[in-house]
Amino acid sequence: MTSPRSQVLLSTCFVSSFTSKVLTPKYLSSTIPCPSSARMSVPAVTFVTGNKNKLREVSQILNADSSQTPFTITSQKVDLPELQGDPDDIVREKCRIAVGERSRALTLVEDTCLCFNALKGLPGPYIKWFWDRLGHDGLNQMLAGFDDKSAYALCTFAYSSGKAGTEPIVFSGATEGKIVPPRHSPNGKAFGWDPIFEPAGFDQTFAEMDKETKNSISHRFKALAKVREHLTKEFSD
């Protein structure tokens, strides 16, 4: 039986980043079952995001290995700004803001970059706007004048215990690959720029591979492994 102290209860906070209005907190459905003993005995770490696909992947990654710590996922709508600068600074500031919104609760946030080597790392943290405005074809065209189509996906989490005077702790994971003309599996809607990112060593884009494969090699998976290790230690001490 798993010791309650080694269990971490993770809830997620659903943030609308598409409006400037702060939305009324609203808990959505709990998607991952968790033993009731764990619910009562462990602190809740709230993952704050406005992106349903991130939320789904985080949930799938954390629950993929049943021998690992059990997690419960719930969601809540709040609002957070899009920030600019260095990825670590962005995610730290995002975390400080989220902690403020959450009345100093245990808080986890994430920021994702897509970095083109030919463009010295850009669009990087600005990929959201580039993808939104230019789409998959426009992102490909940005590299039309370069032989180097290599890129990397970077995921950076920041975690805060919410205690006054503490700084968020940052965990990063990157997956190398290249930018290709869009290809996705016929089933369902692809997540963001997945159709144009082909990870190194694979002949499929993120959007063509099954979710288990993406979730075992992705930038998010690598960063989340570090988050999980940290939280497991923090709550078992």
Ligand X SMILES: O=c1nc[nH]c2c1ncn2[C@H]1C[C@H](O)[C@@H](COP(=O)(O)OP(=O)(O)OP(=O)(O)O)O1
Whole-angstrom Cα distance, residue 80 to residue 109?
10
Q: Residue 85, Cβ neighbours under 10 Å: how many?
A: 11
The binder of 192, among Mg ion, ligand X, none, by C-beta within 5 to 8 A per type, is: ligand X
Whole-angstrom Cα distance, residue 208 to residue 17?
27
Using the rule CB under 6 A, is 11 a contact of ligand X?
A: no
Whole-angstrom Cα distance, residue 91 to residue 155?
10
The residue among 51 and 117 lying less far from ligand X, judged by its C-beta, is 51
| Residues 58-97, mask of contacts with ligand X (x by CB under 6 A) | ------------------------x---------------
Which residues 156-195 are close enough to bind ligand X by CB under 6 A?
Answer: 191-194
Q: Applying CB under 5 A, what is the total number of residues that bind Mg ion?
A: 1
* Stretch in the footprint of Mg ion (CB under 5 A) among 12-20, 85-93, 98-106, 198-206: 12-20
Least distance between ligand X and beta carbon 127 (Å):
5
The binder of 198, among ligand X, Mg ion, none, by C-beta within 5 to 8 A per type, is: none
DSSP 97-163: HHHHHTTT--EEEEEEEEEEGGGTT-EETTHHHHHHHHHHHHHHHHTTT-S--EEEEEEEEEEE---
The binder of 47, among Mg ion, ligand X, none, by C-beta within 5 to 8 A per type, is: none
- Backbone φ and ψ for 160, nearest 5 degrees, come out as -130, 140
The residue among 15 and 105 lying less far from ligand X, judged by its C-beta, is 15
Instruction: Return the closest-CA partner of residue 228 out of 62, 32, 101, 109.
Output: 62
Which residue positions form the known binding site?
Answer: 49-54, 82, 94, 111-112, 191-194, 214, 219-220
